Each structure stands twice: as structure tokens, then as C-alpha cells.
Amino acid sequence: NAGVTQTPKFQVLKTGQSMTLQCAQDMNHNSMYWYRQDPGMGLRLIYYSASEGTTDKGEVPNGYNVSRLNKREFSLRLESAAPSQTSVYFCAGGQTQETQYFGPGTRLLVL
């Protein structure tokens, strides 16, 4: 029972490159979330998915797309990475807002 897992752990991109951050949960949660964590900004919600097949924008969705293909997996895609997207990305899953279980995070550096 791994909980919430994220891959990769670290990634360096050049401006304009694309990549997909993967998230998977084995806790049978309906809801999944993607956050970014920046110094002095706290955690900000990028996108969330209340159930399989549905996604909605959070506070800072610009520059990102998401995909919830099944209940376990929720991926975050950067189509054309920008330096402003340098951050630590956290995926979370939960049945309720307060019981979110967070993944270990992905550190992304965009040069």
C-alpha cells in the first residue's frame, strides 16, 4: 500500500519543452489534486478531479493540463514549460478536503 506516488522525483527542463508528471493512488480516493509549492506562496491548487473522468481548474491552472483516465491516476502536463513553472509539485488524493493524502512531490526546474 504505497498511498500516493509521484514520478519523477526531479526533472530539469528547458524552456519550451513538454513533460507529464504522473500521480497514482492506491487508496481508492474519488478526488485527486495537483498543487504547486513556491517559497512565500504556500501551496496553490492547479487542478483537481472530483471523480474519474472529471477535472476542474483550481487557483493557478494556466500553462497546465490534466488527465484523469481512471480512478488511480491523475497526470499533470506542461505543454511548453516556462521558468515561472519552476516549483515543487504535489499530488494528493482524498475522500474529503481535510483528509487529503499527499504524494512526496516532484521538483521541477525550468531553465
Partner 1 sequence: AQRVTQPEKLLSVFKGAPVELKCNYSYSGSPELFWYVQYSRQRLQLLLRHISRESIKGFTADLNKGETSFHLKKPFAQEEDSAMYYCALISYNTDKLIFGTGTRLQVFP
Interaction site with partner 1 (CB under 8 A): 4, 33, 40-45, 48, 58, 90, 92, 97-105
Min dist. Cβ of residue 96 to partner 1 (A) = 9
Min dist. Cβ of residue 98 to partner 1 (A) = 6
Is the CB of 19 or the CB of 45 nearer to partner 1? 45
**H-assigned helices in the chain:** none
Residue for grid cell 504535489: 90
Q: How far apart are CA 42 and CA 67, in angstroms?
A: 24
Min dist. Cβ of residue 18 to partner 1 (A) = 26
The answer, yes or no, to whether the previous bond of 61 is cis (omega within 30 of 0) is no
